Structure formats: C-alpha cells, structure tokens
Copies of this chain bind each other. A is one copy, B any other.
Amino acid sequence: MPFDMSLIQRGARLRRSAFFAATQRWGAQAYTVYNHTLFPICFGDLEEEYWHLIHHVTLWDVAVERQVEITGPDAFTFTNLLTPRDLSRCAVGQGKYVVITAEDGGVINDPVLLRLGENHFWLALADSDVLLWARGVALHAGLRVDIREPDVSPLQVQGPKAKEVVGALFGEDVLKLRYYWFLERSLDGIPVVVTRTGWTGEVGYEIYLRDGAKGDELWERIMEAGRPHEIRPAGPSDIRRIEAGILNWGADMTLDDNVYEAGLDRLVDVDKTADYIGKEALTRIRAEGVKRKLVGVEIAGDRLEFNAVKWPVLSDGIAIGRVTSAIWSPRLRKNIGYAMVPITHAALGTPLRVLVPEAGEREASVAAKPFLDPEKRIPKGR
C-alpha cells in the first residue's frame, strides 16, 4: 500500500526551488517537502526511473539540499567545531561527507561539505535547520564567522552516462575529478560548482547553481546535452540508495541516534586533535560500545511496500527494534532495508522477525551493507 495523498498548499509558506517551473514543465507527478521547500520525487513510475538510472542517466532537482555557507576569518575553526571529521585534511576544492553532531553525539544532519576557500564552506543539508543550529552555536563561541543560506541550488546528474553529459557541458577537466572533489565553472554566464558526488552508488555529479534566476536555463542546457544519452528527469531513487547502503536522515537516523548507533563510524576521525561538539560523548560511547545499532536487513518472501510507519522488529513476539527503510530491489529480487536493533541482534546473519502491516510476520536477517557492490554494480556474492 503506497502512501499517496493529495497536498493542497495555497499559501506561500513552502518554498519553490529554482527549478520548480522546469520540473512542472517536464511532468513532475509528485512532490514532498524538504527543508521547507517542495521536492519533486517522481516524474512517472518509480521503478522505471530506477532502471533508467541504472542504464542511462537521470537529472534530479535537489535544490532542497539548502546550503549553510560559513565565511569569515574563523570559518575554518568554526566549521571544524561542528563535525567529528578532521577538516584539516580537507583541501580547498575538496568535499567530504560529514555528520553534524550534537553535544551528546546525536546526528543533527549529514551534509556534503565543500571547502571553497581556506575560510569558505558550504554544507549541503539533509532536512533539518542547521542554519539555526550553527547560528545558535556561533552566538557565544567567540569566533568571527558569517553564517547564512546563500542562493545555491544543486541538481544531480546520475547514471552510467553522466560522464558524457557533464563532459559535454563542462569539458574534460571535470571528468578527471576524484570522488568528492569539485570545480567552479561558468556555463555561458551561468555560475556553477560541479562536484563528483551523488546519492546513488552510480557514477554521478552534482551541479550547484549559484544564481537562482538561471534555474530554467541551466535545466534546459543539461537536458539538451543529455538528449543523445537518453537523459530523463527523475526523483531520487530510494531503491538505488538502499542498494548502495546510503542512509536517509530523518528516517534511518535522527537527532535521537548517535553517530555510532547509526553505524557511521567512518565519519569520526578518532585522531582529530581539535575540539568539536560531541567529542567527549563520542569518545565515551566508543569506549563503552553502543546498545543498539542500525544494520542492513533482508526480509524474506515476496515484494513488500514500505509505507510511512516503521515496522516493528520482533523477538519472542516483543518489539525490540524498528525497520527504518525497506524496499523491493528489482535486481536482487529481495526486500532490503535497514533496522535499528539491539546490539545483541546486530551481528551479520542474525535471524529476525519483522511485523509487516497487512502482511503479517516475516522472516528476516541482518545483512551486509551495501547490498550491491558500488564498484561492480552487481549483486554481492556473484
């Protein structure tokens, strides 16, 4: 039972992205809301969009990834205070996938951070008001920083033919970008930042538009460059991101889950000498170990439709955890997803039972993430 309902928004509380008109013109069928902004998540059939992403190339309006921009003489020191990643290892021109942490180690957000200058950072945000968090922290931090939401609107170009599209628009240098690095470019006067990043595990790029008035023009230029490569507009693929082991903030982890519970250990640089918010808590948690953890799960049986309610994970008939995301993978021909479970049930292969509304109890087991090897893009084990 997909969760499908009508949205009426007559007022101007929710924002439209710089690409809103383009997404309407190209037939967006459904929007959700993300960072107070309308987010096109489907242009037709979700499974068709998945296959198109796998075989060709897709264009997504992810301008809802609003940026927090941090500048000023102490911008490096301040930004380094917000995350367990050691930003002294992030060069100008480089990006990092980071967590923004609360003092108790909770995950406030998991943006892509770009370092545009020695003291110039962007955080491309998941769905929480990090602008308010950062400004609140800055209030008494004694550091000279300027924190604002700039006019920056990202698009994603994702899929095996993404290189051809981005190469045709921005030239060969962009194709040499290493994962998470970026280049600043101008496309006939349209100012952009092109990054080798994405939410898929496929080859992909993000194009950060720096002038919201040119959203329509940029969108059409990309669609034109992509025409020989069968580009089509699409929403973010929940199927592909789960296959790739990518988490969705707000669903798979929240402020109530710490970095280690979310299984994002690799985003903590344990040898970071500089202080950061949450360092004490995370050091303690690392020493003590976590009581629960987000794990990959495979749920047995035929195709399931996950809706907006997290399914209970049962042990002896009692709920011990929750499935946070689940989806049918058409390539694996399996129901895959994530669950937050007690650490006693987190080892690979642990059998679980999941209570699925309207489908009853299903056998499940803890499985390795990613479900599909991101390099070979074939089911693991083959």
Q: Which residues of A contact B (CB under 8 A)?
A: 2-14, 16, 29-33, 36, 38, 41-42, 46, 102-103, 108, 127-141, 238, 248-251, 255, 277, 305-310, 324-325, 327
- Contact call A135/B248, Cβ cutoff below 8 A: no
Chain B nearest CB, measured from A28 CB (Å) = 8
Which of B14, B32, B103, B128 sits near A8, CB closer than 8 Å?
B32
- Contact call B132/A11, Cβ cutoff below 8 A: no
Contacts of A307 in B (CB 8 A): 10, 12
CA distance A350 to B9 in the complex (A): 30
What would be 12 A-B contacts, judged by CB atoms less than 8 Å apart? Answer: A4-B6, A8-B41, A8-B42, A10-B307, A12-B325, A13-B127, A13-B248, A132-B132, A132-B255, A137-B137, A139-B140, A140-B140
Contacts of A277 in B (CB 8 A): 139
Given the known interface contacts A129-B132, A132-B108, A136-B137, the answer about A30 and B6 at a Cβ–Cβ threshold of 8 Å is yes
- Contact call A13/B250, Cβ cutoff below 8 A: yes
Chain B nearest CB, measured from A93 CB (Å) = 29
Given the known interface contacts A36-B250, A140-B139, A140-B141, the answer about A11 and B308 at a Cβ–Cβ threshold of 8 Å is yes
Chain B nearest CB, measured from A123 CB (Å) = 13
Given the known interface contacts A33-B32, A127-B36, A134-B136, the answer about A4 and B8 at a Cβ–Cβ threshold of 8 Å is yes
CA distance A345 to B296 in the complex (A): 60
- Contact call B132/A128, Cβ cutoff below 8 A: yes
Contacts of A11 in B (CB 8 A): 238, 248, 251, 306, 308, 325
Chain B nearest CB, measured from A268 CB (Å) = 19
Q: With a 10 A CB-CB cut-off, give which of A13, A103, A128 has the most chain B CB atoms.
A: A13
Chain B nearest CB, measured from A341 CB (Å) = 16
A4-B8, A136-B136 given. 16 additional CB < 8 A pairs? A2-B8, A5-B30, A6-B29, A6-B31, A7-B31, A8-B30, A10-B327, A12-B307, A12-B310, A14-B32, A14-B250, A33-B33, A36-B250, A102-B135, A128-B132, A140-B141
Chain B nearest CB, measured from A124 CB (Å) = 17
Chain B nearest CB, measured from A184 CB (Å) = 26
Contacts of A132 in B (CB 8 A): 108, 128-130, 132-133, 136, 255
Chain B residue nearest to A103 in the complex (CB): B139
- Contact call A16/B136, Cβ cutoff below 8 A: no
Which of B6, B7, B16, B134 sits near A309, CB closer than 8 Å?
B16
Which of B32, B38, B133, B305 sits near A135, CB closer than 8 Å?
B133
Contacts of A325 in B (CB 8 A): 11-12
Contacts of A249 in B (CB 8 A): 13
Which of B8, B133, B327 sits near A136, CB closer than 8 Å?
B133
Chain B nearest CB, measured from A70 CB (Å) = 14
Contacts of A309 in B (CB 8 A): 12, 16
Top 6 closest A-B pairs, CB basis?
Answer: A136-B136, A33-B33, A129-B129, A140-B140, A132-B133, A13-B250
Q: With a 10 A CB-CB cut-off, give which of A46, A136, A249, A325 has the most chain B CB atoms.
A: A136
- Contact call A12/B139, Cβ cutoff below 8 A: no
Contacts of A33 in B (CB 8 A): 14, 32-33
- Contact call B2/A5, Cβ cutoff below 8 A: no
Q: With a 10 A CB-CB cut-off, give which of A8, A108, A137, A141 has the most chain B CB atoms.
A: A8
- Contact call A3/B13, Cβ cutoff below 8 A: no
Chain B residue nearest to A8 in the complex (CB): B30
